Amino acid sequence: MKSLIPLTLINRRLNYNNICISLTTMNRIEPYKLRLFPFIEWRATIVNIARSDAEKAFNKTRSASHWIPFWVGLMDGDGSIQVNHWRAKYLQYRIVIKLKNTPANEQMLQFLSNILKAGRVRIDAKQGFVIWVEDNKRNIQKCITIFEQYPPLTSRLQCQLLFIQYCFKSVEQNNTQLFDINVYFEERRQKYAKQSDIIFTMAPQKLLALSYFNSWLSGFIEAEGCFCVKNKNNSLVKNSYSFSISQKGDSYLLYAIRHFLGASNKVRVVKNDLFLIEIYSKIVLQFLEKHFIEYPLLGEKKILCKYFLRRFLKINKIFSIAF
């Protein structure tokens, strides 16, 4: 008696323990009978045994080549590079990422800490944050090397990076940890003086040409992206699904993201220099789904995105191998 193989029919493909079996009516190979449901038999031919497309993509992007620029994008969204002083005598350096305290965000920061071999994760339960912080000078210099390989794209973080590089260089030239505190205060006041010049030079097409933009974007969305389901009259069918992202000052980032996604929505000025783009297009949301398969999210935003896309794809009857 032939053993039965429990399989699940998915968009004319059968998946079982990462084995892909395509249904076909071609008679090139002797077909096997597979009993899928009681009283129903399908004739299928095993034409390929491989991991699913989603899992292959995930394995591909588990390497540092994705997660390091992902971390840079996360830094651009919710990170900061700090240079403080101790009693006006010594400089203290810190790189910080502060996120909402959730198990998923904590696990993400622990994972990135292992990838980077830098930083430690602590929880501020009173304020409701989970924080990744690095204050060891040697490890901070390693992080600066990463920023030199994958430059941050927000003008804010670029200015902070220039300031800490200046401080490191000045201390090294003096060959001491001491630093002229008056010079420090003056340079700190001028830290963002070149921000408008940076914004002027950051053309959207220049960003899209970067080899690490895809991974950076996933990290930036992890920090700044918003997936929204607006309910109309308590009807699932009448729900509207949107993806939005905002940024203070750096409108060029939103224009680059809009062009990358192939969206036609306007980049709106919400308040003063706060820019926002909100996208409802089904085609663009499907594009995002494919993007996250190859360049995945990792923390709390991954959970929210998965819930959002599952509902969106289900209501629009769109097949997905990952969601």
Q: What pLDDT band is residue 271 in, cutting at 50, 70 and 90?
A: confident
Per the prediction, the chain carries an average pLDDT of: 80
**How many domains is the chain built from?**
3
Q: What pLDDT band is residue 319 in, cutting at 50, 70 and 90?
A: low
What percent of the chain clears pLDDT 70, i.e. is strictly above it? Answer: 75
Determine the average pLDDT of the residues in 113-123. 96
Q: What is the pLDDT of residue 225?
A: 96
Q: Say how far apart CA 71 and CA 222 lie, in whole Å.
A: 10
pLDDT digits (tens, 9 = 90+) for 174-230: 665 556 778 888 889 999 999 999 999 999 999 999 999 999 999 999 999 999 987
Determine the average pLDDT of the residues in 244-257. 95
User: Last residue of some domain: 200, 230, 258?
Assistant: 200
Q: Say how far apart CA 121 and CA 50 lie, in whole Å.
A: 37
What percent of the chain clears pLDDT 90, i.e. is strictly above it? Answer: 61
Same domain, 61 and 46: no
- DSSP state string for 229-243: EEEETTEEEEEEEEE
Q: What is the pLDDT of residue 226?
A: 96
Tokens representing residue 276 in the block = 């926002």
Exposure letters 226-237 (e unless 16+ CB within 10 A, then b): ebeeeeeeeeee
Same domain, 60 and 194: yes
pLDDT digits (tens, 9 = 90+) for 35-84: 333 333 333 322 232 334 444 444 444 578 999 999 999 999 999 999 99
Residue 73 lies in a domain: yes
Predicted model pTM:
0.79
Residue 320 lies in a domain: no
User: Last residue of some domain: 200, 235, 252?
Assistant: 200
Same domain, 269 and 183: no
Same domain, 286 and 267: yes
Same domain, 184 and 108: yes
Tokens representing residue 172 in the block = 């090294």
Same domain, 278 and 158: no
Same domain, 194 and 216: no
Tokens representing residue 88 in the block = 């006006």
pLDDT digits (tens, 9 = 90+) for 1-21: 433 333 333 333 333 233 232
Q: Whole domain around residue 117: which residue ranges?
A: 56-200
Exposure letters 182-193 (e unless 16+ CB within 10 A, then b): eebeebeeebbe
Q: Say how far apart CA 65 and CA 86 lie, in whole Å.
A: 37
Q: Is the dihedral of CA 105, 257, 250, 266 positive or negative?
A: negative
Q: What is the pLDDT of residue 63?
A: 77
Question: Is residue 27 over pLDDT 60?
Answer: no
